[in-house]
A and B are shown apart, each in its own frame.
Chain A
């Protein structure tokens, strides 16, 4: 029941033009590598022109070469759901194109000095 009057040949209810499973070669779940929302992804070299890479994989490498980016940032940057982003990252990790650093856990962090730095940083915003 498309109620919008935009005369387009597909609409939002039809879903994305490229089905998400096409981006992940049919897989719905990433392999069990832990990719926390705040895990940091780093790309060291520039394999972004590798013709074997999908456009999404190349986009990740381009984004992460400037500076490390979190998984959540990448999903938002690529405008892809988290699950799909994780599958793409898992592949890149297996190919050795990226490194992933786990986030610091606050439980390992009753570091008063760091939290004071956060408070000072917020005040200065």
Chain B
């Protein structure tokens, strides 16, 4: 027990990756998942994608994110946010990324390119992240080193395998991320000191 620190600490972890890669499954494997809605003004990029026939007056669209909480202690919790997959919701990421402890980029080796935008985004924003390769039954096993090279990852960015359906496997991914984020934040603190 630490009576000196009574503040509740909530840490935010983002789960990103291409459409259909298993983000919802991953969040659901370790936490009770709930949808979190935002009402957003529909951008022109959405026109022709969203069905707007018959609802011409509609100028906002509802974006649903996966949202899960893992309570570790009475005063310590991890919050997982599955980022919306479509590119036109990038603007939502800025709020999500602000103050995030780190991010999991979930990737499918059959469609590795789908996670490029997420990798690029977190590298530019300086959010510590790792790449988790979701092992689909018919996907070839890739060497993490080969994936790191294919994604042109910065040195030190971990690449791990996982099964997004499996609680234990997702826990291992989270542990790897927290350890990595701790190292990165410490490096940044030293660089800034």
Contact = CB atoms under 8 A, between A and B. Distances in A.
Contacts of A115: 178-179, 181-182
Sort chain B's interface into a size bin: 35 or more
A38 B99 contact: yes
Interface stretch (A49-57, A58-66, A79-87, A88-96): A79-87
B23 interface: no
A91 to B, nearest CB: 18
A14 to B, nearest CB: 9
A83 B181 contact: no
Interface residues of A, number: 38
B165 interface: no
B126 to A, nearest CB: 10
Contacts of A32: none
Contacts, number: 106
B171 A123 contact: yes
Given A20-B39, A104-B7, A122-B175, A72 B79 contact: yes
Interface in B16-55: 30, 34-39, 53-55
Nearest to A104: B9
Contacts of A122: 70, 72, 78, 171, 174-175, 178
B35 A76 contact: yes
Interface in B144-193: 171, 174-175, 178-179, 181-182, 185-186, 188-189
Interface of B: 7-12, 30, 34-39, 53-55, 62, 67, 69-70, 72-73, 76, 78-79, 81, 95-96, 98-101, 171, 174-175, 178-179, 181-182, 185-186, 188-189
Interface of A: 1, 13, 20, 36-38, 40, 68, 70, 72-73, 75-76, 79-84, 101, 103-107, 109-110, 112, 114-119, 121-123, 125
Nearest 4 A-B pairs (CB), nearest first? A121-B72, A115-B182, A81-B39, A76-B34
